[in-house]
Amino acid sequence: MYQFKYCGYKITSKLRSYIIPYTKKKISENGDYVRDEYGNIQCEIEQYDIRNKTYDELPQELKNKFNGCPLTTVVYQSCTTEETSELVLLYNNHIGMNASQKSLTYIGKYADEIKRIKDTNRFLMDCTVLSENEKKNGIWERVISECVMGINHFDNWKKLRKICVTILTIIHLLMNIKT
């Protein structure tokens, strides 16, 4: 919401209802409000197409409605990566995630390491043909996860996300055993 209001973000064009009705005070040709016989300001119903619009492009009446919307803010402090993954699934259950994005919510504590590899690995940055959009949609994380699974557990590897997590957890436990 902050980015929409202050950073020029646009409303998506993929909306089911994109014509928004709002009440506007009638204004005469000389710029005064039109009043009825009792002195009350007359209003009219206007409609506005909000697709691909920024906050600054909205009529003042819609800006006032937007500013008056109560938003609930929840802060979870000191969450582990696993808890954060659970919260993402909980709060994004109404938003469609592609398979790669959803996979990241199941890998829990390994997500940070996979993201670090994605963001800092020169080979991935310089030698792959994946686009920035694919990077945003979680394809790079999926490629990294599948490479790890293919290299370490090719014979037992299945493409099911939860099995991948189980194997990664076992690897993590084995790596922490002191001999």
* Residue 37 confidence (pLDDT) above 80: yes
Give the mean pLDDT of 107-119.
79
The pLDDT, as a whole number, for residue 163 is: 62
How many other CB atoms sit within 10 Å of the CB of residue 85?
A: 20
For residues 161 and 106, the answer to whether their CB atoms sit within 8 Å is yes
pLDDT tens digits for range 38-86: 999 999 999 999 999 999 999 999 998 888 877 677 777 888 777 777 7
Cα 88 from Cα 104, distance rounded (Å): 10
| Predicted structure pTM score | 0.40
The pLDDT, as a whole number, for residue 103 is: 67
For residues 144 and 114, the answer to whether their CB atoms sit within 8 Å is yes
